[in-house]
Amino acid sequence: MFRTKRSVLVRRLWRSRAPGGEEEEEEEAAAAAEARAHACGEGRGCCPGKAGRGCGASAGAESELKALTHTVLKRLKERQLEGLLHAVESRGGARTPCLQLPAKADSRLGQHSYPLPVLLCKVFRWPDLRHCSEVKRLCCCESYGKAHAELVCCNPYHLSRLCELESPPPPYSRYPMDFLKPTDSQVLQEPGDRSHWCVVAYWEEKTRVGRLYSVQEPSLDIFYDLPQGNGFCLGQLNSDNKSQLVQKVRSKIGYGIQLTKEVDGVWVYNRSSYPIFIKSATLDNPDSRTLLVHKVFPGFSIKAFDYEKAYTLQRPNDHEFTQQPWTGFTVQISFVKGWGQCYTRQFISSCPCWLEVIFNNR
């Protein structure tokens, strides 16, 4: 039997789904089956302690997810399927168009109803995703900032997962403020070009590599290897560091991060396949004498800098602080490796590959 191009695209998309989705649906199916079993006085299946789940729960949950996904995908035009497949197979590395679908078309899976953007993110990126409040649109998306549009973008790589801040913070991730490395922040206090909103410095351990990168566009990609995109390419910088650890971490930067200036502050989106670690004065309690280092997993976003909050922060009066530049308008980001009290790296200057983002406080 000959297959149409659309059916081939649908099959390829299903094979490219995120791993682990079946387990999530199995849990829901098992819970529902157990509830029905208790209501009917049954529950003695083939697996002791898993009443009502039966041997067909796994296959049933996967079949339901597959049927729903195929139903949604078959509504798409061939060009839309090609764009979605390109986004999924490149893991967001390629620039792909928006996938505009009706905003009110929800899909029901088990006991839950999901908007189409959430469903496709759940299938292709985060199987544990539950609600639209857990994701954030990227500024490259046509649906960004549109609250009540008739069409909404369902491209799963035009959204990121929101990073929830720890409360209370774990002690291992505390960064002592008694080590404030002299920075290039004085660049922003000198007369000159005021059109940039930040500058970025790339460091390998204690050595800065390359020149300061001045950022004027609202969004900047910082990467080592990206199939498509413009921005700050760390792979083009000449580094004399021969450390095996530095070279290993450098090779893991991959798609890197996306730095975006938005209405409510500056957001960092982790596009790489490994965690990043962020320290910012506006992410922590203003009264704290230590700054928290936040771990951001792949695919997650965090508001790394808040302008309003930064202006309200008081410059420390201690003598040890006044002898060095105040870091209230600086964010530090380490690729792959973290630092803190429970790491061998106490300070970010010991991290193999890291960034210093210095904001224009004017």
Separation between Cα atoms, residue 211 and residue 345, nearest integer Å:
25
Tokens of 238: 């000449």
Tokens of 362: 């004017």
Q: Which residue has the higher pLDDT, 56 or 40?
A: 56
Using DSSP's 3-state secondary structure scheme, residue 246 falls into helix
Contact yes or no for 359/198 (Cβ under 8 A): yes
Give the range with max mean pLDDT: 1-10, 50-59, 191-200, 245-254.
245-254
Q: Quick one: average pLDDT of 166-181?
A: 38
Nearest to 76 by CA among 101, 98, 97: 101
Contact yes or no for 120/144 (Cβ under 8 A): no
Q: Residue 97's pLDDT is what?
A: 94
Looking only at the bridges linking them, the beta strands covering 265-270 and 257-262 are antiparallel
**pLDDT single digits (tens) 152-162:** 999 999 999 99
Contact yes or no for 355/296 (Cβ under 8 A): no
Q: Which residue has the higher pLDDT, 129 or 190?
A: 129
Q: Which residue has the higher pLDDT, 263 or 288?
A: 263
Separation between Cα atoms, residue 4 and residue 11, nearest integer Å:
11
> At residue 1, does pLDDT exceed 60?
no
Q: Quick one: average pLDDT of 345-349?
A: 92
Separation between Cα atoms, residue 23 and residue 53, nearest integer Å:
13
In 97-241, at which residue ranges do the beta strands (DSSP E only) sit? 100-102, 106-109, 112-115, 135-137, 151-153, 159-162, 174-176, 198-204, 207-215, 219-223, 231-233
Say which amino acid occupies 142. Answer: E
Positive/negative CA dihedral, 192, 197, 203, 209: negative
Q: Residue 65's pLDDT is what?
A: 87
pTM: 0.80
> At residue 308, does pLDDT exceed 70?
yes
Separation between Cα atoms, residue 302 and residue 162, nearest integer Å:
6
Give the range with max mean pLDDT: 30-34, 244-248, 278-282.
244-248
Nearest to 217 by CA among 230, 235, 233: 230
Say which amino acid occupies 14. Answer: W
Say which amino acid occupies 265. Answer: G
As a residue count, the chain comes to 362
Q: Which residue has the higher pLDDT, 315 or 82?
A: 82
DSSP state, 353?
S
State the residue for tokens 């390998």.
204
Q: Calculate ∠ Cα 100-102-104, nearest 5°.
A: 140
Say which amino acid occupies 244. Answer: Q
Query: Which of these ranges, 25-29, 223-227, 299-303, has the smallest mean pLDDT?
Result: 25-29
> Which secondary-structure segment (H or E) carries 229?
none
> At residue 282, does pLDDT exceed 60?
yes
The backbone torsions φ and ψ at residue 189, rounded to the nearest 5 degrees and listed phi first, read -100, 0
- pLDDT band, very low/low/confident/very high, at 289 (cuts 50, 70, 90): low
Q: Residue 285's pLDDT is what?
A: 73
